[in-house]
A and B are shown apart, each in its own frame.
Chain A
């Protein structure tokens, strides 16, 4: 037997093959697999499954090198989301995913459907979503187009998550011209369940029934996966129709119905129909279970008449699930869906014969042997070579860059940095997100280095954060990859959490370019180094290549989503100074490291120099020492030094909480061997600013772990201002001036927006 063309199918020609993104070699491979010419439907299926987005064909060999195991990892990479045990029989599912390409052409729906997709990835594991995070990168806000993208993405994220009722609590947002025209929109979701509620997307049980659940299938989003697997160009705007349209209300119904279904025992597997829709969900489920499946597309509930098998298979209509139900339990499944006013339709079954078969009624329109459709996809290891331009930029002697005249006033420089959109308060963004729905948000965006979410019914909490400085990765990929993980780990540790595991979203340019592939290989290697050293395995993630536009590739940006565990609610720690009179300590030491800094970018417009070194063993000791001190109750606040360096970290601890600001008096004269600029604004890693009543106890804890530490000052009332003494100079500023710079920057820029998205109001903004 085998598939035969439908009447009216286009003839498979070299032009059609190329249009489907298959190379001649890939097409030959397909013909060899089938032993015949593929049908048009089969060509469509393979085009989607072998797209970069679905197949990971350029990344798999590198991803295999990542550490993925730990005793607490219940589900590693390969499923819809990773899962870790967090004690007391509870488990946490989490995953991050990109929606860069759709957001670049249609920011509102692109971002909204990104949130929808990642929510589904988590609740299909059986977990109830409890928190959302977003890692966003945009070009300079000086550009009107960037402001339009920024406003639209934020609105899309908010309208979707707010409606479903999942708090958006953290993330990271950076701005750099490198992301102009190709913003990065990475959404992360965290969910919680009992360990025994874990379910996977593995089709099993010959004779079991395959059902389509949720929204009906329409013609939207066809070839979205392929679209996300090519560079953006001036023609990309014409591909707006490939962007799906989100319906968060249906998502909320699907969430409740799916969790009820999973807990009911009527189903054996469930998977989101995400990228490449029915095609990839059914093929992946079959491959994971090593079984055959047969699907009749004529039984698929559709929105419009006359949809072809090709369209039904490749539609990316949102809010749909594929379910494998126990044979005979179909009515029970329908009953649960009906309670939530959703449909469930039988569309196929699990079969013993090792084939992936699609029929339209009795006509076989596609048939592939075994699970080879997924497992036999091509794998590439392209040439890797570092860009000479990057080598040249890294070698720049940044100490030779002269200070600007304004820098004579160190407070001016500090205010410049605090008002840089990358560093400034993101309150303008977060106030558009519901941060406190579900009544579990102990610490939302802002006052701590990570968000802290209560695990209801326990004394434990999760700390969650995303991080990645793409500028570091650009200038030195291996170190940049290490730092991304180390910083995320430090951030969750500053809230009192033990870093547990990561998910990652690898945003890179076109992997066929040697310099892109080099940065990918090295950055992932660095990430792996850090995950091994810090004991935080990778539980899954997503690769997004082809983040390029006519101006070039984005910075290589391997975004890390970190989950940490706080053992006891008493350990929850924030980043803000609270009590005048308390001592301020620095764990770690400043070094002469100014390269790749926000200072150089913001004050001098220069992206150059080597990024700071990352000593992973020292990072581990630092985290251990800090957690010891926090658990012993010795730490009043802890804040990691990152973009903008020590001076920015101290200023933030003074005035992130504007209503309860403090001043500080700091003495850094001991480090007279480090230049003023590097001491204040250099981004040396492995440093944490701590405030405490018992400095000697914190110093003791640091000493026990071999972490260098020193008392550097004292918390003062806000009206005393911030004073930092250096060997020969002194920085002084009223706290209010720092707060104005930090809190006022983004609102001032965005008040200039005549937002085009306001007319584009398709989702409920409701309550």
Chain B
């Protein structure tokens, strides 16, 4: 099985995702260029963090029109796994592969800090190697990370257990203080109804070795490997 990591011109976490998958996980990965229409046989697509096309308009708003995204959307419609991290999450929302939207952080400032995430659902192809309710320490780094969705959309997410990660405090409570950006219901990551597309604002690819502050992010990639390779 093979990961495919997309590089948009303004991607800046593509190297990190590539290294996490190849070095820390030991899997194989292909770099995918935004101008191409070729997924190079990748089984799992990662849309990495960054500023895809500058994001002067609205984060991810232009990326959805890029050539590679046509293939990514096709891949997702066929049930292929897609993981969007940070800017990747924004692109997935803009592309309609995930419901809701990511707005400017409530405090109107970029925020980079290590947050605590609670695993809300381990019944996904992205989280099956975690325990339900497990607390993870993973960094966020974004200006537009405030997840929002209308009431009925939120109800559907909750009913279908599509909320995968929430921002919580050290004791595991989804408190307002633990919410770094004002996301609705402290939502940090969601999957689509079918369960093959996940978006999350925090950066699991940055915490895959003890040297860089722990391995809490590795489970996301291990989960994919476990499910897709099985």
Chain A interfacial positions (CB closer than 8 Å to B): 155, 158-159, 162-165, 247-250, 252-253, 256, 340-341, 430-442, 454, 456, 569, 659, 758, 763-767
Contact = CB atoms under 8 A, between A and B. Distances in A.
Contacts of A437: 12-13, 16, 49, 141, 206
B203 A436 contact: yes
A454 B211 contact: yes
A433 to B, nearest CB: 6
B113 interface: yes
Interface in B1-36: 9-13, 15-16, 19-20
Contact of B51 (A252, A432, A442): A252
A767 B51 contact: yes
A239 B60 CA distance: 36
A758 B143 CA distance: 13
Contacts of A758: 108
Contact of B50 (A165, A436, A442, A454): A165
B55 interface: yes
A572 B31 CA distance: 33
Given A158-B110, A439-B19, A569-B211, A766 B206 contact: no
Closest 4 CB pairs of A and B: A165-B12, A249-B54, A765-B143, A766-B55
B141 A159 contact: no
A436 B217 CA distance: 14
Given A431-B112, A436-B112, A765-B104, A165 B13 contact: yes
A110 to B, nearest CB: 18
A408 B153 CA distance: 61
B112 A434 contact: yes
A437 B10 CA distance: 13
Contacts of A569: 211
16 contacts: A158-B110, A162-B110, A163-B51, A163-B55, A165-B13, A165-B51, A432-B111, A434-B112, A438-B12, A439-B205, A440-B212, A765-B109, A766-B90, A767-B51, A767-B55, A767-B59
Interface of B: 9-13, 15-16, 19-20, 49-51, 53-56, 59-60, 86-87, 89-90, 102, 104, 108-113, 139, 141-145, 170, 201, 203, 205-206, 208, 211-213
A349 B56 CA distance: 37
Given A438-B15, A439-B20, A764 B211 contact: no
Nearest to B85: A767
Contacts of A163: 10, 12, 51, 54-55
A155, A247, A250, A438, most chain B CB atoms within 10 A:
A438
B191 to A, nearest CB: 19
Contacts of A763: 56
Given A441-B212, A766-B59, A767-B59, A433 B10 contact: no
Given A436-B212, A442-B211, A569-B211, A766 B51 contact: yes
A81 B12 CA distance: 23
A767 B104 contact: no
B100 to A, nearest CB: 15
Contacts of A162: 110, 112, 141, 143
Contact of A439 (B16, B50, B111, B145): B16
Contacts of A435: 112, 141
Contact of B139 (A249, A436, A659): A436
A248 B15 CA distance: 19
Nearest to B58: A766
A436 B203 CA distance: 10
Nearest to A439: B16
Given A431-B111, A569-B211, A767 B9 contact: no
A244 B218 CA distance: 42
Given A163-B51, A163-B54, A252-B10, A767 B108 contact: no
B56 A249 contact: yes
Contacts of A764: 51, 54-56, 59, 143
B129 to A, nearest CB: 20
B172 to A, nearest CB: 15
A148 to B, nearest CB: 15
B20 A252 contact: no
Given A155-B110, A765-B110, 19 more contacts: A158-B110, A165-B51, A248-B54, A249-B9, A249-B51, A249-B56, A431-B111, A431-B112, A435-B112, A436-B139, A436-B141, A436-B212, A438-B16, A439-B19, A441-B212, A764-B54, A766-B51, A767-B51, A767-B87
Contact of A767 (B16, B19, B144, B211): B144
A251 to B, nearest CB: 10
Contacts of B11: 165
A244 B51 CA distance: 22
Given A252-B10, A435-B112, A767 B56 contact: no
Nearest to B203: A436
B92 to A, nearest CB: 12
A158 B112 CA distance: 10
Contacts of A165: 11-13, 50-51
Nearest to A757: B108
Contact of B143 (A341, A439, A442, A766): A766
A575 to B, nearest CB: 16
A163, A253, A442, A569, most chain B CB atoms within 10 A:
A163
A766 B13 CA distance: 14
A432 B112 contact: yes
Contacts of B206: 436-437, 439
Contacts of B87: 766-767
A454 B112 CA distance: 19
Given A767-B142, A767-B145, A432 B56 contact: no
B91 to A, nearest CB: 9
Nearest to B114: A436
A364 to B, nearest CB: 39
B57 to A, nearest CB: 9
Nearest to B11: A165
B102 to A, nearest CB: 8
A756 to B, nearest CB: 13
A163 to B, nearest CB: 5
Nearest to A151: B109
A767 B50 contact: yes
A438 B142 CA distance: 15
Contacts of A454: 211-212
Nearest to A342: B9
B101 to A, nearest CB: 13
A430 B102 CA distance: 23
B2 to A, nearest CB: 21
B56 to A, nearest CB: 5
Contacts of A340: 9
A746 to B, nearest CB: 13
A168 B215 CA distance: 22
A763 B53 CA distance: 13
Contacts of B53: 249
A432 B141 CA distance: 8
Contacts of A430: 112
Contacts of B104: 765
Contacts of B213: 436
Nearest to B86: A767
Contacts of A659: 170
A248 B56 CA distance: 10
B148 to A, nearest CB: 15
A437 B60 CA distance: 19
Nearest to B59: A766
A158 B108 CA distance: 13
A341 B13 CA distance: 20
Contacts of A766: 51, 55, 59, 87, 90, 142-144
A435 B111 CA distance: 10
A256 to B, nearest CB: 8
Contacts of A249: 9-10, 51, 53-56
B111, B208, B211, most chain A CB atoms within 10 A:
B211
Contacts of A432: 109-112
A164 B201 CA distance: 18
Given A164-B12, A253-B9, A439-B206, A434 B110 contact: yes
